[in-house]
Amino acid sequence: MVSRVIPVDSFDLVIFGGTGDLARRKILPGLFRRFLAGQMPDTSRIIGAARSDLDDDGYRTMIAEAIEEFGGAEKEKSEDVKAFLGRLHYVAIDAKGDGGWKELADLMRDDVVRAFYFSVAPSLFGDLAERLHSYKVAGQDARIVVEKPFGRDLDSAKALNDTLAQHFNEDQIYRIDHYLGKETVQNLMAVRFGNVLFEPLWNSHYVDHIEITVAETVSVGGRGSYYDKSGAMRDMVQNHLMQLLCLIAMEAPNEFTADAVRDEKLKVIRALQPVELHHIVRGQYEAGKDTPSYRQDVEDPRSRTESFIAMKVDIANWRWAGVPFYLRTGKMLKARTSEIAVVFKDLGHSIFPGDHARHRNILKIQLQPNEGMDLQVTIKEPGPGGMRLIDVPLDMTFADAIGEDVEDAPDAYERLIMDVIRGNQTLFMRGDEVEAAWAWTDPIIGGWEQRGDVPKTYEPGSAGPEDAMMLMHRDGRKWLELRAK
Ligand code: NAD
């Protein structure tokens, strides 16, 4: 199968923080892969803008090393790398001062898409926005891309939105949640709204419950000081898990346009019920045989920040009334996997004598480590011996179904950056969505703070604290096994 690469318009993409970790690990190697795929018009340019005192050549050397380290493809022929590096420029800039801004303004061209990626600390967003405006670098057509975290509570998110709104319209602002750039996440919408099969069953009449799991095997590692100020709720649930929940739970938009999709997601967030504190389990990993505990990792023996969270969430609307959504995410768990499972209700009555097993259809949507879907169905066990039933997965792993080209498909960052250049905001969070998500999150975090909640501990390499199992046991349910597929 030949992959279809649709070129985008010519662009000048400025990456503020172009020497930083995110730019070197994800953004530039991703752009290189799009370049290799032939998606980047000849006249497009990427301009790194950061504090380091570099020139174009110095920046190209830095990015050549980054591509070698993080490029992730054998195709990195030196000729291709050289051609890509030719597209790179660099301006030493001070977000808080005047240095570099005139040079940047002189470098920009009028007849191409102008995009500005804020790959810097959120505390610099206001400074950048103001100077982009005052130095006339970015006008009404420019697009700006902002990274997570978008605030740490409702007030700070509102303040960020207000700051950006002083100089940019909402249709110019692209708030990234890279989970939304994953192939499977988009496929979730294709499966739901492109088939007649699922949508009639996608409601409280047929769905028993839904699980959303984002499990990591790594510790907080070197991110300890950042992580300890946020925790799993702010770092994962408020954004990534919430976005997945919205896509699973939303009504069909009347068309597949940015605002129609985001309007529906917003309705889901607004329908989320406040979560009772006993429906939440927070955890912190203990020390392992050779691994430090969470508290040792963050160098705070009294830290109360959670590295794990499991919760039961209810959505108050006609479609989902009575269907619990169980969310869990954490570090140092036994498998690295991101998965959504739609668990359908039991068959009301079995006609097969002697069959007392519980057979359930389960649609599993995997996002990590491999992207794909499978649908558990009940069939007759092959061979003699009468009607014995077994449950088997109908595997829809994309690499098998669609062919090798899946490996060449853009990763989340690449796809999202190309969407920015195309001017397509569908897979980006709107300001009101982010605020609504914080409005739901804030009282939960406030509740823990008020009562001095201390997370339960859990063994590294486990599925989290025992209480997380109890959360579902109490409802007569059980988490699906935590394993990488
Ligand atoms: P980093 O510290 O590695 O890089 C920061 C960059 O900002 C550097 O290029 C630096 O030169 C530039 N910078 C700092 N102060 C400046 C100033 N006054 N003027 C101009 N440039 C300045 O940070 P990072 O890890 O690349 O993260 C960047 C942003 O992306 C942060 O908001 C972070 O939360 C977010 N983010 C990072 C990751 C990741 O994996 N690194 C993942 C998700 C989100």
Instruction: State in Å: Cα 237 to ligand 1 middle.
Output: 22
- pTM attached to this predicted model: 0.94
Closest residue by CA, ligand 1 atom 7: 17
pLDDT at 284 (0 to 100): 98
Instruction: State in Å: Cα 18 to ligand 1 middle.
Output: 8
Instruction: State in Å: Cα 281 to ligand 1 middle.
Output: 32
| pLDDT (tens place) for every residue of the chain, 485 residues total | 445 677 789 999 999 999 999 999 999 999 999 999 899 999 999 999 999 999 999 999 999 999 998 875 555 578 899 999 999 999 999 999 999 999 999 999 999 999 999 999 999 999 999 999 999 999 889 999 999 889 999 999 999 999 999 999 999 999 999 999 988 888 899 989 999 999 999 999 999 999 999 999 999 988 899 999 999 999 999 999 999 999 999 999 999 999 999 999 999 999 999 999 999 999 999 999 999 999 999 999 999 999 999 999 999 999 999 999 999 999 999 999 999 999 999 988 888 888 888 889 999 999 888 888 899 999 998 888 888 889 999 987 765 666 555 556 678 899 999 999 999 999 999 999 999 999 999 999 999 999 999 999 999 999 999 999 999 999 999 999 998 77
Closest residue by CA, ligand 1 atom 44: 148
Which of 120, 156, 225 for a ligand 1 pocket mutation test, highest count of atoms within 8 Å of Cβ?
120
Instruction: State in Å: Cα 283 to ligand 1 middle.
Output: 29
Counting atoms of ligand 1 from 1, which one is nearest the CA of 24?
A: 26
Counting atoms of ligand 1 from 1, which one is nearest the CA of 18?
A: 9
Counting atoms of ligand 1 from 1, which one is nearest the CA of 16?
A: 21
Question: Which residue type occupies 236?
Answer: M
Instruction: State in Å: Cα 397 to ligand 1 middle.
Output: 35
Which of 22, 103, 116, 177 for a ligand 1 pocket mutation test, highest count of atoms within 8 Å of Cβ?
22
Counting atoms of ligand 1 from 1, which one is nearest the CA of 118?
A: 29
Positions annotated as catalytic residues are 240
- Report the pocket of ligand 1 as residue ranges, CB < 6 Å: 17-23, 50-52, 93-96, 119-122, 124, 147-149
pLDDT at 2 (0 to 100): 44
Place of tokens 């190309």: 418
